[in-house]
Chain A
């Protein structure tokens, strides 16, 4: 089912719940007002919750015994047009810029996932793209949405968790696909230890060989609650073919995050994020899932020098070492930019949001000794915390989210600018900020590989996510053009994978595109022939 089919189905489905009339609802409101006016000091004065009892001042009592309403299914014609950006021209097709995920590497490689089935990679700042279908494990009944990691134009990883039946919460194991030719061919590894109660939650690669993954153990209860029992950090030094257990993100005997106390049916099990710097050094911070899932405090920032075997809590000057709902490292823990960014083995940056009197005070920190000491280098105060900034160097930072609020205070006297869209950029280490990209609409992510080149993901009014590119530090933007004419992402993957744990998958469709060109996929582009299709054994719980 493609995106449009699903959306049409949802629109049709929800239209069946449109009430035929609302006279009983109006009557109920009228009853409330009448009762409150007649008895302002009565038992419901100031009462704002309804634990168990039902109010009984509805005149008609029409609900009694009425459990079924008969409505006609109205198949609404879907209104799903596209909104052209002010910058899109006739030669640029918004459909070719419509993506689901994207990112930019430090080396300037831009990647994007379209339709959930194809990965596009550009090594020339979006001038040309190579697009390949993503692999799919044949034996799996289905997979949860995959996670992509790209380190250069050739090396990428795609992790999926498989499930049986039509219930995505009943997982069966996790598979990591890896490519060293830009997605033309993929090799798969079943992640060791994964199964019905353990699945991969994050994959991070430092280069084409060194990487880390986190396997979260837990279960989804029959009532939909997620219980996280702990997690395991795995390391690979051969690009993902083999993995060795090295530690856990858990601390103080507590899984991270702790078992959920609230129903989070459909939620994914997750852990605090890991940010690897080298083969031994990992950083992590208390992420929103930790606090959402029942914890009130957790370590603000931690570092491990033995690949997660043990952790040390790091204190930040002026802020201490404990995170709470009011003090957190910026970064949601599962999407880029990372909450902690090292631009060399010694130089790194992070930003912390502190809630002060209804405002978000953002503290920007820098280290030049590999994280042994951190120094606050800037501070702003704004209405919302925004996302983790992209730190290019000591002076050039880019941040989404904060542009939607007024930047009130900065160490150097920031430009006080109110904007509803766009993102913020500074070229002087946070002393002054500019609001850029307002013409793009709602910018949800911005990634920069240097102070000039980068990409932005925007949400248009009609819920399409469009990828824009810049080559001048965000001053001007152009629509990315991933697809060539005639290329369509398949509606169903229909891809098979051989039954070994380290096998090669070759796609049958490949496309290369450049703006304004049209060249249908050629069989010659597809690489070696696909191996025989058989099923992949999915590991069971141990």
Chain B
């Protein structure tokens, strides 16, 4: 390797390093919303950074770099959600709110129902309601067609709506 090429590679590596470090906090929030687990999200970001670094040669368009890293984070989270679906014995690493409030039960119920959705549906929910993205933005972030994002979001909300409608009726019947 000549010095000139070595310098170019070093420079590009520096750019990738700056990108990954600059995006780490946002990637952490993204993973936290998808996984609903800020601590587990740190591991996801670390894994994503490793994948991104190893694949950095495939990144040809610097302008697309931010979306590229976000998609890697999303993919890592998808794998993690699949792992969790298979291993239901993993302890939930969810934050705790003050005990004795209605929100505890509310959160538990929401978390339980959301956990039953497919990983892709959980991703779409996290991006929509955690990161507050629109359907086109979610499509861009995940690389999915907008129609697919819409149908996954629709399906997720239908499941949640049905579950809570049932819960509401159960409460009314016990009164």
Chain A residues with CB under 8 Å of chain B are: 1, 3, 6-7, 9-11, 13-20, 22, 24-26, 28-33, 36-37, 44-50, 54-55, 58, 63, 66-73, 79, 100, 116, 141-145, 163, 165-169, 223-224, 262-267, 384, 387, 400-401, 404, 442, 444, 459, 461-463, 465, 492-493
Closest A residue, CB atoms, query B128? A463
Please name all residues of chain A whose beta carbon is closer than 8 Å to the beta carbon of B95 when the two chains form the complex.
16-17, 68-71
Interface of B (DSSP majority class): helix
- Are B165 and A444 in contact, with the CB atoms below 8 A? no
**New A-B contacts (20) at CB < 8 Å, excluding given A48-B54, A387-B147:** A6-B161, A17-B32, A17-B38, A22-B25, A22-B28, A28-B42, A28-B49, A44-B50, A44-B54, A48-B51, A50-B47, A54-B43, A68-B96, A71-B95, A116-B161, A143-B162, A145-B162, A168-B159, A263-B86, A401-B147
> Which residues from chain A contact B6 at a C-beta distance below 8 Å?
none
User: Which chain B positions have C-beta within 8 A of A22?
Assistant: 24-25, 28-29
Size band of the interface chain B makes with A: 35 or more
Cβ contact of A163, chosen from B28, B79, B166, cutoff 8 A: B166
State how many angstroms separate the Cβ of A59 from the closest Cβ of chain B.
12
Contact in complex: B134, A28 (CB < 8 Å): no
Alpha-carbon distance A67/B160, docked complex (angstroms)? 27
Binding site for A on B (CB under 8 A): 13, 17, 20-21, 24-25, 27-29, 32-33, 36-39, 41-43, 45-47, 49-51, 53-55, 79, 82, 85-86, 88, 91, 93-97, 103, 106-107, 109-111, 113, 115-119, 121, 125-126, 128-130, 132, 134-136, 145-147, 150, 153-154, 157-170
Q: Which residues of B contact A54 (CB under 8 A)?
A: 43
What secondary structure prevails in chain A residues at the interface with B? loop
A168 and B155 CA atoms in complex are apart in Å by 12
User: What residues of chain B lie closer than 8 Å to A9, measured between beta carbons?
Assistant: 106, 110
B93/A68 in contact, CB under 8 A: yes
4 interchain residue pairs of minimum CB distance: A142-B166, A25-B28, A14-B130, A22-B25
Tell me whether B24 and A26 are in contact (CB under 8 A): yes
Option from A63, A68, A266, A442 in Cβ contact (under 8 Å) with B146: A442
The reply to whether A142 and B163 form a contact with Cβ atoms under 8 Å apart is yes
The reply to whether B49 and A32 form a contact with Cβ atoms under 8 Å apart is: yes
Name 14 A/B residue pairs within 8 A (Cβ), A-sorted: A10-B129, A16-B95, A17-B94, A25-B25, A29-B49, A30-B21, A32-B46, A44-B50, A141-B170, A145-B158, A166-B163, A166-B164, A166-B167, A223-B88
